[in-house]
Copies of this chain bind each other. A is one copy, B any other.
Amino acid sequence: MTRMIIAGAQLGPIQKADSREAVVARMIDLMNMAADKGAGLIVYPELALTTFFPRWYMPDWNEVDTWFEREMPNGATMPLFERARELGMAMTFGYAELTPEGRRFNTSILTNRKAEIVGKYRKVHLPGHDEYDTERAFQHLEKRYFEPGDLGFNVWRNEGAIMGMAICNDRRWPETYRCLGLQGVELVTIGYNTPAVNSQMNAEGLEKRLFHSDLSLQSGAYQNATYVVGVAKAGLEDGHPLIGGSIIVDPDGFVLARAETEEDELIWADCDFDKCAFGKTTIFDFARHRRVEHYGRITSQTGAIVEV
């Protein structure tokens, strides 16, 4: 039996002027709270160390690179790794990764209880656009600042459970969960920064945005019989609002814990990974029920093709 208290560490807003060191201090505060709850794993948001910089158009790539990390851990994040090691707590968080070859990815890492990095994921589904868009209320330049992830969807057996990662917009794509589900995933961790306003439809309010986040996380959990933890960076970053709504979802798709604020806030749930087995061996026993001979379009075709 593998059972673990999982914590979701929602972060409130990070302003452009805030240093990584200040953010890491906040992350350590949340980690200490998680330790008090007995957590074995703590999940932080996407791009946890900085403001959500893809909302800003920066023509100067030297300026862009100030938002990226060249190694992990590094000087700013070492205290987080050290505290995790002291507490014996696994963790996952997101950051902007600049590789030695000069490639840029929206990345997350997973550590074990010794604070050793056991897994890395690079965001596959980049939303937004790659050039300045005069039509938008604000920019969402992920396609400019990042390459699509090149590592695919992988799982790791970490501290007894089969874990996979995804990032933000990945959570809206059922392919994400299915690729992990086909590897037996029991816990999917997903950090996000989601604007509270649709830059292309101002009338779409916060309530609808939260509904879509929940719907995606809950259906992904149910349809793959896995726990899913979605963790937000939330609140008003330099005037730009981000949704909160961090949740922990069980393998039946039910919400076990939900953040109530748009600030730094810890949520947690006692997760019994054996509970994944029922769905995986009955209604979602893939080997018995899936019919891949009819799924061809999913991999042979990228965009919609209307032929009727």
A residues at B contact (CB < 8 Å): 124-127, 148-149, 152-153, 155-157, 162, 169, 172-175, 178-179, 181-184, 200-201, 208, 211-212, 215-216, 218-219, 222-223, 252-254, 278, 280, 282-292, 294-308
Select from chain B the residue with minimum beta-carbon distance to A216. Answer: B219
* Copies of this subunit: 2
Q: A219-B174, A223-B174 are in contact. Are A299 and B296 (CB under 8 A)?
A: yes
A218 CA to B300 CA, complexed, in Å: 26
Q: Which of B153, B174, B183, B222 contacts A305 (CB 8 A)?
A: B183
Q: Which of B200, B215, B301 contacts A182 (CB 8 A)?
A: B301
Chain B residues whose CB sits within 8 angstroms of the CB of A285 once the complex forms: 303
Select from chain B the residue with minimum beta-carbon distance to A182. Answer: B297
Q: Are B278 and A201 in contact (CB under 8 A)?
A: yes
Q: Are A223 and B173 in contact (CB under 8 A)?
A: yes
Q: A289-B127, A299-B299 are in contact. Are A223 and B280 (CB under 8 A)?
A: no
Chain B residues whose CB sits within 8 angstroms of the CB of A157 once the complex forms: 308
Q: A179-B297, A183-B308 are in contact. Are A303 and B282 (CB under 8 A)?
A: no
Q: Are A286 and B302 in contact (CB under 8 A)?
A: yes
